[in-house]
Structure 1
Amino acid sequence: MEFETAIIGAGAAGMMCAAHLDGRTLVVDHAKAAGEKIRISGGGRCNFTNLYTDPDAFICANPHFAKSALARYTQWDFIALVEAHGIAWHEKTLGQLFCDNSAKDIVAMLRDLMAARGAELRLNSSVSDVQKVGDHFSFTLQTPDGAHKMTAKNLVIATGGKSIPKMGATGWAYDIARQFGLPVTDIRPALVPFTFADGRFAEISGVAVPSRVHADGPVFEEALLFTHRGLSGPAILQASSYWTEGNAVTVDIAPPDMYEALRKQRQEAGRRNFTTELSRHLPSRLVEHLSGVFDLSGNLADWSDARLGALIDGLRQWELLPNGTEGYRTAEVTVGGVDTDALNSRTMASKEHPNLFFIGEAVDVTGWLGGYNFQWAWSSAMAAAEALNKAP
């Protein structure tokens, strides 16, 4: 069977591309249902984009690569698409947009758009033996009813990265890239909790605090959660995308007015135990844990301005050395991927093979937590679709 375009991967990027393609299109996925990552995202509500999407919110070896696609299909474009299909949405924190009802609404919208274009969707199917024969790609499609030889003029790889392997994620996109001579950057799990070998935070598992966290990158001001295995929460997940093994993570858990507030408390309740007064600013279980990290002995009256200042500095520059992360098992995305130096930033096509495209998470473009990665899926998919529709 011959197709104009074959898209491997029926996730966010693959479905979005197929939903806007002319010509006979085949979409293949080994999963039982399309858009499974969409379905589970955002607690089942799908954080489908972010109001503040900007190239600076993406990690890539070439910081300019994502600019073209993001500028030509923006968050506002996807919001307009969602609204045109009657999907109600709301904003949470930091520009994060979610469906009012269910993430399934986004999947249904993309399925409807694909159907309207006549795209053929094959689930429970896998692709093997990909070859380029002349101007076309030839491959074997393994389906429940047997193997079928297929050809397509264009091939779009939208199989994502290695995050969440229990959903079938693999490094297949990287294998295809290498097969056709495209380099792949180093990859690692991202938007992932940190682990500590000594289980040092097990006793305060479940405690959450506002924080400012950074690890070889921007400072993220969001919640931090202590867990049995280590550290999690939005601020930690964000910092993990920039962290490299062997480096420390710097945590700031001191409220902005803590120093002046403690000085005032010293005048009013100086005879009280210092940890009791500190618990007015931080959870008591956390204060108990911090007693083993910092010297919190004595009454508040015993604490000089210098000692208070030193503690505040310590809480604002608390360096922690993880032994690792929870890995791809719980990582929301993969940092790294198909090297953007080998791709055309306007079309997402291989420079060496102009009818071979890589979109979404398979590419070395990784967004922050909060809808940025979905926006990259939409934008990169539209860049490919636009180029394919213009192709002779």
Structure 2
Amino acid sequence: MTTPISRRTVLAVGAGAAAGLALPVAAHAHQAVRARFTLDAEVLDGGEQVTSITLHTARLGRVDPASLTTGTFTVHAKATSPIPIAPGDQIFSEYDLDRAVTAARVDRHGDVVLDLAYAEGVTGGGTLGYIASKGRNVRLNLVYTITQQAPLVLRGGRPLTITEFRQGRLSNPEVDAFGYGIARSGMKYRLFKPHARGRRPLVVWLHGGGEGASLPDNYYDNETQLRANRGAIGFVTDEAQRIFGGAYVVAPQSQSFWMEDGPRFAPQIREIIRDVVRRHDVDPSRVYVVGCSNGGYMSMEMTVTYPELFAASVPICGVVQSLQPGGPRLITDAELAAISTPTWLVASRDDTTVPPEPNTIHAHDLIPGSLLTLYDHVVWNGHQFAGHWSWIYVARNDPAQNGQHIWQWMAARRRRA
């Protein structure tokens, strides 16, 4: 048997590292056979998971699919925090375990793909960890070890035993469709550009508290605001792009969390919007702001600070009343009553993190002409999520009133001249 080889890899685009090898099959001493592999990921409603592995075997020959089974390879995954965890602190969800291979196939490029077991709420495939004391998600360092248990057979009958596997990048087409940017203020953001030509609308996604920078570590990745949920991702799907006629989507990332100092962050977000509008073919009369939790607060703060900027606002489980007992309102009643931007609020009655009565319902009562969708629970595809996660519904275009769904309502709004 050979000895497993592994090196750490981070989830930055283009970062690669060697991962492990352990073969029960004898290999020719002077004939190393190497294959690189890619971690294939999807952003689920509950966060990003590695759902399959692509072994880049095409250059080694044409693999006979009949020789490939779910037992041909085994997969081990280890996920650790990229920053130190203080004694007594907790991080959810590091792991060190075997991943079940549910299917093995040869794709159209001639590469071997190993589909892995994954599901909402299951530890073992996630790419993010949540550090309890910081209230922040971080991108986990992932090390995958591939072990070949039986030879493959190439067309013509020649056996193939891979003697070294090299881990490559994390691949997620939806996340990778967003480019990277940084404003003059230092605020980072991700930007999706539509395929459609001509003036197009702009959707501004403002993340929740867990997706900002982690302080005081200066951990500022410009990744978690896309990987933690489908909030921004939902607006780049084919369905959303069709409804909006093609739309730019920008996702700024707070240097801490929006509620820390919304009035200070508002001009930085405005700067990003201004830069995107100036550099790209954006219709300035069709800029929409959507945010969840901390970002739901910030979406309202933006319409308070810039009443003429947005065509529509969608605050999801947004914070109005301080979450600290006896704390002041983050947005005053007078400010809520003065909001003139068309607003559709969304929350769930069982939200224990941001109770809807003093926040979403209170805002709806005061914002003139605002719409409200209030769910009893957050359930999607048979899985019940925490009541705070009502952004899942907006990411799936579920809220509707009078036969019109929320994306169609947004797309029809124009800023008054």
Fold shared per TM-score above 0.5: no
The structure whose residues are more often strand, as a share, is: 2
Using CA pairs below 8 Å that are at least 6 residues apart, which structure has the higher relative contact order?
Answer: 1
State TM-score, norm by structure 2.
0.23
